[in-house]
Structure 1
Amino acid sequence: MFDNQDSGNTKKKSGVKQSVSAASGTERRQRQLRFIRSKAHDEVLKLIRQDEEEISERAQPSSLHVDPNNLSIWSFDEKTAPVNVPIAVLPHCVSAIMENAARDNVFQGVLLIRKLLAVQTKAPVQEVIDTGVVPALIQLLQHVNDPKLQFEAAWALTNIAGGSSQHTRTLIDAGVVMPLVQLLSSPDDSCQDQAAWALGNIAGDSAYTRDAVLYAGGLQALLETINREVPTPTPLFVVRECTWAISNLSRTKPAPALETVEMALPTLTSLLYSEDNDIMLDACWAISYISDGPPERAEAVIATGIIPRIVELLSHQTNIKMPALRTVGNCTAGTESQTQTVINAGALVPMCNLLSETGRAIRKETCWAVSNIVAGTIEQANAVVQSNIFYPIVNSCLQCPELDVRKEATWCVSNLCNFREPNHFMYLLNLGVIPPLCKSLHLGDAKILQIVLEALDVFLQFGKAMAESGQGENEVLKAVVDNDGLNALEYLQNHANEHIYQLALEILENNFPQDDDMGHVVTQGAEPAGFIDFEGGGNGGDNGGANFQFY
């Protein structure tokens, strides 16, 4: 008989792919987030700040005549485009800041350094650092009675933080973090905005710099800035910058301790209802980062009651789908109770729609989340089957050219097979799962081969059990042969991976006995029937007879 496995456990079943503990899950998530961590993406580091009028193509020409033989800080004004400020003026700027007590001279020196750092390519960040002016710029952040000067100094420091990791470390070592955190309390909105920008750039560089901001109370200060109501509510542009900075404080491996960042969850939850798409996007990314890891991190997010809103955002028209999907995936990688919360919120319907997206990452992430749900209880697996999400998984994702999407889709099939439920097998066979599985036997990825071989093994066991019980011939075996699966299995006898070789060998020996005289594989039955009538349901749990087409 074909025995069903017990699925009454309360934890995720062993032997299926999950992302609960460090080994597989953290590494997989870390790989998936590498493109986000890249300093080349302005979603993480806003490298420089430029006002529209300062972009060289739109900049108004300065009315000042610049004599290259007689440069001074007053050879330029606020309308001078950054590309028109020569590096030769840098020593004059440093002298004005460090040696001249006149406020206007100091301001002009800071202004020009900021412009020097605002060019799009090859900004002289190291040259500015080498002058020793960084401590003086940091000191200017504390001139509470001169917000314009504070703003320019913060702007210059922000652009330094947008340089290399070593440049950011230089700022940390010079003591920049605490003055920037304090600047968030400025009554000047522009100073708050620039402080948040600088802190976000610093936090986004590495775990070390992120922790420096966290230890200085940066997260709490950003939250207080967002939630400030008196004397007036915080402007939208400041909230936007603070939310982005919080998302950077929540990310990068190793993840910050949950007790350090969970204070942000109530505010982030409310920000998910913002009418500003950028705020929603960064808040959702922050929540996805916080939920990533052991089950207690997902539980902290679930406890806010935000999962229904996260599920709503799976159908959003913008790029907010990805962080919402990652949050859903993180929750399905936790306990069965956490997975059930996602199911109860109605996630399966929008997830099914996401599999028709053209973006590879969306389809890969969706299949990963589905594979985690199917690794739960049999009731949860049945919910997935009844949602018909396996139709696009089998007929699209399992056959697509993107290898990583196919791998996740294969895990979905494999995890469902672990229950060894006849209805599940018949449902997948009716969807035509055997041909794409056989095609996958020709792939070079050893992990995919292992998953496919294990799945084919249990499908063949099922087909054999049905045939031995008098319900017709072994149509699974016929489907494998007709889809070149037998040839592929024989070819895998030469595979360099010992485990792959053994799996293929066991399948051949158990299902395709060799003729003693001729030495070739013998299969029962000459002509494929195409259809088979099994006792049981083919639609995720319905009872009663149905026809199932294997190929």
Structure 2
Amino acid sequence: MVFLDLFLQIVEKPVMVGHRVTCYSFTDQLAAGPLCPSHPREGWRVVVLEVCGSPHWQGVSMQHMVMVSCFCEQHFLRELDGLVFRRRPEFCDHMDVEILSPLFGTLYPWALLGSLQGLQLRVPAVVPGPHLQGSEKHLLHGGLFWASGQLTKGVSLTLQEIISGVNASDPDLCFQATQAVRKMVSQERNPPLKLIVEAGLIPRLVEFLKLSPHPCLQFEAAWALTNIASGTSEQTQALVEGGVIPPLVELLSSPHMIVCKQAVWALGSIAGDGPEFRDLVISSNAIPYLLALVSSTIPITLRNITWTSSNLCWNKNPYPSVKAVKQMLPVLSHLLQHQDSEVLSDTCWALSYLTDGSNERIGQVVNTGVLPRLVQLMSSSELNVLTPSLCTMGNVVTGTDHQTQGAIDAGMLNVLLQLPMHPESSIQKEAAWALSNVAAGPRQRIQRLIACAMLPLVALLKNGEFKVQKEAVWTVANFTTGGTRDQLIQLVHSGVLETLVNLLTIQATEIVKIILDVLSFILQAAEQLSEKENLCLLIEEMGGIDKIEALQLHENALNIIENHFSEGEESGTILPALDQDHEFLNA
């Protein structure tokens, strides 16, 4: 407790003043002294948890990493503000806080430096906001258990020493060499992946995955191979040719959570390289193991499982097999009920991949009953959840009319009609794209959209980025091709005509052609209602005739001039406005 007492004194002033604090301390020396600090602070709570000791430092590392990871996932995943550890020289070259950092999100590892009598807390000069915001703080104190056990001094190995160590028969030498490989390929900038592959180390690293009596060695090998899989396709191919997939799949059932999690990550990296390797992972029976992990009591991070599952759904050239999709959909449906934003994000992306295709593919997803939940997620304030849920629902409404109606029945339009005004242009674009597909439906559906969506659509056409304007133009085009004459009148009353005319000057041939088609449809409707002269006057007042004449290289523009404006220009006559039931100019 001397160390804990000093630790609490050190962190109080620079970090914890004015906060309620819960400090979790893990020790294998519970009987060595009192369980509470000698000078308790008001509003502070210390929780001391006992862990098992081990005669070997590798055992200490693995046991404690698993224990801390499990505890954190169960109690405050992504709510931890800091991980404080006592850095000992003999431990500097071995597993460190990097093992645990994925748990915490905003983790900053503070180090306690010096002897027990002269400890100082090294706090970063600038601490990112999330670490010190709020009224209640959580710290995880790792100094006690990392100071226990028999530690060995870390050494730096040359490539030749690594090759010798990897090929040694002594598991300790293999571990040291494999860890050195892992650290090399974990470098943030220019990791020497090619060097490791060309050194011929992959076959031995793959063999280490099979050594279940040595989970630390399995873990380091899996980590190193994961980082190699994040390299080029050629480097990933070297792993696959080295036989890495089957032992990684076997590790999905490892009793050691850290090893299991790393295997999930490695397989996800391999599957994400392309459809060939994705299908090899699937054919190695990985999906049932992943399903078992989701339903298991093992507290493995669902984020890794979801990300890997998403990669198994990705790529449509070719699509994953129908059998694989049928296996995946129940677990994706289950994960969609989770509350973690990263789990939800990757789950929605997986569903968006699966719906990006034929009506049959869309039907597989729709039939799971996930549409109401996806609609809920379209209201998320978190962009990483909103974007893929909107993409998925946008894919659904590209399907059959029955599938589109299913999306509407799930409440999609109520949410979708709010999204064109979202501050993110990417959301505006996706929302306009989804609306354009809904608009390609029956007239009753078009009427609802005209009544509710025209104001935001006009705003997008007037002020949106080009990618957004493009989708909004398609929406209006679908209104005109499927709507009635009265619905076209409503379009003119909505103010959309002026925005379309103004867009005739953009340098985008496809969009200009679509706008000319829309104008042609509206002019034809006006002619049938004996209102063409009034509409032509309105277009002329907007400067539309000059813009259309400037586009006479377009066949559509030439046709509009010849069919709708030539006679009016010659005679100069404008018909009087008709009654309000059939009038373009009066709202």
Could you say which residue in structure 1 is the equivalent of 2:407? 342
In structure 2, the residue matched to 1:369 is 434
Change (3 A) 1:273 1:79: farther
Q: Which residue of 2 aligns with 1:298?
A: 362
1:459 to 2:522 alignment: yes
Q: Distance in 1 between matches of 2:421 and 2:522?
A: 27
Cα distance in 2 between the residues matched to 1:349 and 1:421? 24
CA shift for structure 1 position 171: 0.5
Selected match of 1:508 from 561, 567, 570:
561
Residues 363-382 of structure 1: per-residue CA shift (max 9 Å, x gap): 11111111111112222223
Q: Deviations over 1:276-329 (max 9, x none)?
A: 111111111111111110001111111011101100111011121111111111
1:346–1:546 distance in 2 versus 1, CA, 3 Å: farther
Q: Per-residue CA shift, 1:465-510, capped at 9, x if unaligned?
A: 3235xxxx743212211111111111111x3xxxxx2111111111
Deviations 1:359-412 (A, max 9, x none): 2221111111111111122222233234x1222012x22123522211111111
Q: 1:194 aligns with which of 262, 279, 291?
A: 262
Structure 1 match to 2:229 = 161
Q: Does the CA contact (< 8 Å) of 1:247 and 1:286 recur in 2?
A: yes
CA shift in 2, pair 1:210/1:357, >3 Å = same
Contact 2:443 2:484 (C-alpha < 8 Å) held by counterparts: no
Say if 2:442 and 2:482, in contact at 8 Å, map to a contact too: no
Q: How does 1:401-550 map to 2 (within 5 A)?
A: 401-467=464-530, 474-493=533-552, 495=553, 501-513=554-566, 524-525=573-574, 534-535=580-581, 548-549=586-587
What is aligned with 1:244?
307
Alignment of 1:178-327 (within 5 A): 178-228=246-296, 233-237=297-301, 239-254=302-317, 255-318=319-382, 319-327=384-392
Letter matched to residue 451 of structure 1: I
Corresponding position of 2:164: 95
Task: Say which SS state the counterpart of residue 254 (structure 2) adopts.
Answer: coil
Q: Describe the superposition over 1:229-284 as per-residue Cα deviations: whole angstroms up to 9, x where unpaired.
A: xxxx13151x2211110101111231323332231111111111112111111111
Does the 8 Å contact 2:375/2:412 carry over to 1?
yes
CA separation in 1, counterparts of 2:114 and 2:337? 45
Q: Which amino acid aligns with 1:166?
A: E
Change (3 A) 1:190 1:532: farther
Q: What's the offset of the Cα at 1:533?
A: 5.5
Q: Does 1:173 align with 2:241?
A: yes
Letter in 2 for 1:184: L
Contact 1:280 1:320 in 2 (8 A): yes
Give me the whole-angstrom Cα distance separating, in 2, the residues matched to 1:474 and 1:412. Answer: 26
Distance verdict in 2 for CA 1:79–1:364, change over 3 Å: farther
User: What is the CA–CA distance in structure 1 between the aligned matches of 2:405 and 2:109, rounded to whole Å?
Assistant: 55
Give the TM-score normalised by structure 1.
Answer: 0.76
Amino acid at match of 2:158: V
Q: Which entry has the higher C-alpha Rg, 1 or 2? A: 2
Task: Name the SS of the counterpart of 2:482 in structure 1.
Answer: coil
The whole-number CA distance in structure 1 between the counterparts of 2:288 and 2:372 is: 26
Deviations 1:122-162 (A, max 9, x none): 10111111111101000110111221111111001001111
Change (3 A) 1:420 1:444: same
The TM-score normalised by the length of structure 2 is: 0.72
In structure 2, which of residues 190, 199, 203 is the aligned counterpart of residue 131 of structure 1? 199
- Is the 1:440–1:449 Cα contact (8 Å) retained in structure 2? yes
- State the distance in 1 between where 2:110 and 2:486 align: 66
Distance 1:123 1:457 in 2: 59
Does the aligned pair in 1 maintain the 2:375–2:389 contact within 8 Å?
yes
CA contact (8 A) 1:61 1:79 kept: no
Counterpart residue identity of residue 362, structure 1: I
Distance 1:533 1:310, change over 3 A: farther
| Equivalent-residue separation in structure 2 for 1:60 and 1:108 (angstroms) | 26
Instruction: Give the Å deviation of 1:464.
Output: 2.4
Instruction: Give ranges in structure 1 of 5+ residues lacking alignment.
Output: 1-48, 64-76, 496-500, 537-544
CA distance in 2, matches of 1:523, 1:249: 66
Superposition RMSD on alpha carbons, in Å? Answer: 2.8
**Which amino acid in 1 is paired with 2:470?**
K
Once residues 273 and 514 of structure 1 are traced to their aligned partners in structure 2, the CA distance between those partners, rounded to angstroms, is 63
- Kindly tell me: are residues 532 and 178 of structure 1, through their superposed partners in 2, closer, same or farther at Cα, counting changes over 3 Å? farther
Q: Residue 14 of structure 1 corresponds to which residue in structure 2?
A: none
Go from structure 1 to structure 2 and tell me whether the alpha carbon gap of 1:547 and 1:449 turns closer, same or farther (over 3 Å shift): closer
Q: Secondary structure at the match of 1:391?
A: helix
Mapped to 2, the partners of 1:253 and 1:218 lie a distance apart of 19
Give the AA of the match of 2:431: T
Unpaired runs of 5+ in structure 2?
1-96, 116-150
Contact 1:533 1:547 in 2 (8 A): no
Identity of aligned residues (%): 34
Counterpart-to-counterpart distance in 2, 1:522 and 1:53: 79
Within 1, Cα distance between the matches of 2:464 and 2:513?
A: 19
* Deviation (angstroms), 1:116: 1.0
Determine if contact 2:493/2:584 at 8 Å carries over to the other structure. no
- Residues 450-471 of structure 1: CA distance to partner in whole angstroms, max 9, x if unpaired? 1101100011112223235xxx
Is this contact kept in 1: 2:535–2:584, CA < 8 A? no
The separation in 2 between residues aligned to 1:505 and 1:438, in whole angstroms, is 15
The one-letter code sitting in structure 2 at the alignment partner of 1:433 is V
Pairwise CA distance, 1:93: 1.5
The aligned amino acid for 2:185 is L
Corresponding residue number in structure 1 for 2:443: 378
- Aligned partner of 1:542 in structure 2 is none
Q: CA deviation at 1:79?
A: 9.2
Q: Would the aligned equivalents of 2:489 and 2:584 in 1 still touch at CA under 8 Å? A: no
Verify the 8 A CA contact 2:261 2:304 in the aligned structure 1: yes
Distance 1:56 1:106, change over 3 A: farther
- Do the aligned partners of residues 369 and 379 (structure 1) sit closer, same or farther apart at CA in structure 2, a change above 3 Å counting? same
Q: Which amino acid aligns with 1:535?
A: D
Q: How far, CA to CA, are the matches of 1:352 and 1:164 in structure 2?
A: 42
Distance 1:248 1:480 in 2: 51
1:116 to 166, 174, 184: 184
C-alpha deviation, 1:348, in angstroms: 0.9
Higher strand share: 2
Instruction: Please say if 1:397 is aligned against 2:460.
Output: yes
Question: 4+ runs of 1 displaced by more than 4 Å?
Answer: 52-63, 77-80, 520-523
Q: 1:546 to 1:451 in 2, by over 3 A?
A: closer
Q: Secondary structure at the match of 2:530?
A: helix
Q: Over residues 157-178 of structure 1, what are the superposed CA-to-partner deviations in whole Å (9 max), with x where a residue is unaligned?
A: 0011111111111111111111
**Higher relative contact order (CA closer than 8 Å, sequence separation 6+):** 1
